[in-house]
Amino acid sequence: MAKLKSEGKCYYCNKVSSKAGISRHLETHLKKMAVEGTGSKQYFHIRVEADIMFLQLLISGDANFSKLDGFLRQIWLECCGHMSQFGNWGSEIGKSRKVKEYFSKGFKTKYEYDFGSTTELTIKVIGEHFLKEKQAIVLLSRNEPLEIYCQSCGKEPASDICSVHLGYEEAFFCEDCMEKHEETCEDAEYAQLPVVNSPRMGTCGYTGGSIDTERDGVFTVAKK
């Protein structure tokens, strides 16, 4: 697959930044918004990533890890209720613990969903701010759908994956090429999964998230 670019829109001003630049961009907003005193609460700005995919989140210090687990499942992971875990091997973080018990700027931890076909994420705390915000978790940004083209014709955006052929030269197909692939691939019927904007794409029976669904599909070719 050609090298894909990963960029996301800012929740506050809609500016598009690269994966490398978006953390700092969001920090400038959050620093300006920060207020001490009545009505303001402790929030953490965190980055969740899996290879080139990312989520930028704001999470209340009083939220517990199961709240974050629930959010990650809704946006990126849930296929059939697998188990998940925060923390590194041997130092698991209990899900009833509040994030503020662990989080501080620079803190890093691992998250795993499904101990069989595992999807592994890295969580990093980018900053801490006192804000007048009501939601427990705010989605500040996520990578826009990646420009994955059909690996057979190379012309159309890929819409389907043959999950048994992941890792082979041709696993991502447009609709027409998927139909052709089905003629030669014995497993294609049960192995076919949609291209979605998640690191769990193509794994187990994953067919997409249940929130922020408008950014969860196939990329659209920019009109020239």
Binding site for Zn ion (CB under 5 A): 10, 12-13, 15, 79-80, 150, 152-153, 156, 162, 165, 174, 177, 185, 188, 204
| Torsion angle defined by CA atoms of residues 118, 8, 65 and 128, in that order, rounded to the nearest 10 degrees | 140
10/138 with CB nearer Zn ion: 10
159 within 8 A of 63, measured Cβ to Cβ: no
Q: Three-class SS of residue 91? A: strand
Closest approach, Cβ 149 to Zn ion, in A, equals 8
State how beta strands 16-18 and 7-9 pair. antiparallel
Side chain identity at residue 157, one-letter code: P
Helix, strand, coil tally for the chain in percent (to 5): 25, 30, 45
Task: Give kind and range of the element (H or E) at residue 129.
Answer: strand 119-131
Which one, 4 or 107, has the nearer CB to Zn ion? 4
Q: Which is nearer to Zn ion, 60 or 152 (CB)?
A: 152
Minimal distance, residue 51 CB to Zn ion, in Å: 20
Residue of 202, 198, 143 whose CA lies nearest to 172: 202
What φ, ψ does residue 57 adopt, rounded to 5°?
A: -125, 155
Looking at the Cβ atoms of 63 and 200, the one nearer to Zn ion is 200
Of 46 and 181, which CB lies nearer to Zn ion in the complex structure? 181
Q: Which of 167, 165, 194 is CA-nearest to residue 181?
A: 165
Asked if 102 and 109 touch (Cβ cutoff 8 Å), the reply is yes
| 197, 217 contact by CB (below 8 A) | yes
Nearest CB to Zn ion, comparing residues 55 and 99: 55
Least spacing, CB of residue 192 vs Zn ion, in Å: 8
